[in-house]
Amino acid sequence: MRHGFLRVAAATPVIRVADCEYNAGRIIELIDKTEADGNKLVVFPELCVTGYTCGDLFLQDTLLKGAIDAVKKIVDHTKGKEIVAVAGFPYIVRGKLYNTAAVICNGQVLGLIPKMSIPNYTEFYEARHFTAGLQEPFLISFLGREVYFGSQLLFQCTNIPDYILGVEICEDLWIPKSPSIEHCIAGATVIANLSASDELTGKDAYRRELVKGQSARLVCGYVYSDAGEGESTTDLVFGGHNLIAENGILLAEADTFVNGIISSEIDLGKLKSERRRMHTYLGQSTASYQVVSFTLGDGEGELPETMLTRFIDPAPFVPSVKAERDKRCRDIINIQAMGLKTRLSHTGIKNVVVGISGGLDSTLALLVTVKAFEMLGHDKKGIRAVTMPCFGTTDRTYNNAILMAESLGVTLMEVPIKEAVELHFRDIGHDKNIHDLTFENSQARERTQVLMDIAGKYDGFVVGTGDMSELALGWATYNGDHMSMYGVNASVPKTLVRYLVSYFADTTGDQKLKEVLMDVLDTPVSPELLPPKDGEIAQKTEDIVGPYELHDFFLYYVLRFGFEPSKVYRLAKQAFGGSYGEEEILKWLKTFYRRFFTQQFKRSCLPDGPKVGSVSVSPRGDLRMPSDASAALWMKELDQL
């Protein structure tokens, strides 16, 4: 159970209404199947022991006694099993009948939870038979031992400490103040919902969004089990629409009208991290709550490792669905342009300078700058796009930079810097034939000096082009491309830069501009500081620091959730198993951590730039990290992998 992954299932048995013995057998079969698949929790539908649609049969003593006998059979069968089962049945307490959930583990009933909200409208007539549950738990005798009965019960696993289960039943989710709200505030990380929600046209979509929204609002895992085939079709049909969600993300969903099992892994570590970051996620007094502890297995030794079956997105910053991706691109571009627009309005400046190289980052910065000028109604000639060819500039990137500036209608300026850099080499005593860091950084700083001085000449400022991935790795020359007056790409990861430029290409009505942008997208990422080989780019960034798709993946899980290196490595292996070998992933993960820690001093003095997503390296916002922090703990863990 390392890394906080908890495998859970929602199961819908094919039942017979009022045949408790038969139903217990089907429930037991599914418990065995789900446990064999490594699940540590299985949730069954509301009143599944008897059937939800028993109607006035709930007033029959024979049915109620048969339900208790069936629950005992289920409880006895779980002895020695490493799984919690939650099943619904009718139960009388203090003379009143309650729609009840039994939480069962290792041959014991851990607690009984009554349904709080009893629907009695449209097709539902539960108030004819059931009483609304009580919040504060109290002890009752059930199957020969004392157990708590009440809504405010939590169940905490001793050998998976972050596994804290809360339970609510069907309608409890649909009301304005559901019990799960209090459960999660009191510490629950996983909510089980036993439901019998009949199918109506369009109801499945509403139900799906309801479960996703509740898991997002409460930052929890949510396991929803729905009644299905076997329930009476007198007036209603049940579809077995099971759902598993985690913090707003749907992990698994059953097809309607297909009884069976869905399962996935809830990342308890991610939930814990998210709640820790949210200072508005406040706890409340749990005086009225009873926390019941339980242990999976015999408590000796570690539980088996959870095999991951859930999808781990290799591009967490980039939506996989085109419509969602296009919307994301449109929103980000608007945020970037609006931030720059505000800065221009505040300063009253109508001239800006953008260094263009024919590469992705400078292309995006120029496109965003043009959009900001269009928002303001400023003359685009006030945008000075400056190309500064030097030792590493290729014809391809040079021509693309020029064609792009001409297509966009901005002022193009060409300032060759080769002679200036060579003079600088002579001044500092550097051999221009030695292609070391001095050779590279001198060019980067000369370019920045040119841009700054042009901005001063025209009473403007420099728009920065560097992206978040480069900043995370420190792949920027200090006081070179590292510096500007406003960095529009500062929180845009490299993998997303590509899609933003592609979005511009797809939406522009200028065929010439589209062709240029498509060629920029096909150009290898490079700072072009080393001389070309046979006219082609010789210095490819990803050959030096590693693939940006890997680094962006690392960046997301390290900064967004604070995961330890071993978990990031495990997730990366799952996400990139068909693309990179384990040794290669580990190599670049070590590179990421080493550079991330040693290069913080560059991020500590970043220029302003708009935050566009949930991750940012701004020293004024999301990453207030000391420049001299040691990476020893993280590197030690990496060395042990």
Catalytic residue numbers read 46, 115, 170
Which residues share a beta bridge with 355?
Answer: 386
Residue listed under structure tokens 């990803």: 542
Each as own residue / partner, the long-range contacts of residues 602-605 (CB below 8 Å, 24 or more positions apart, any chain) are: 602/471, 602/474, 602/476, 602/478, 602/482, 603/471, 603/472, 603/474
Distance CA 303, CA 45 (A): 27
One-letter amino acid at 450 equals: V
Residue 305: other Cβ atoms inside 10 A: 12
Give the burial class of 328: count Cβ atoms within 10 A of its Cβ; 0-12 exposed, 13-18 middle, 19 or more buried: buried
Instruction: For the chain, state the CA radius of gyration.
Output: 31
| Cα→Cα distances 31→72, 75, 82, 424, 616, Å | 14, 11, 10, 75, 44
Q: If DSSP codes are grouped into helix, strand and coil, which group holds residue 92?
A: strand
Strands (E), 306-459: 352-355, 383-387, 411-414
Residue type, 67: A
Other Cβ atoms closer than 10 A to 121: 8
Sheet harboring 221-226: ordered strands across?
249-253, 243-246, 221-226, 190-195, 164-169, 153-157, 290-294
Q: 147 φ, ψ to 5°? A: -135, 160
Q: Where is 101: in which H helix or E strand? A: strand 96-105
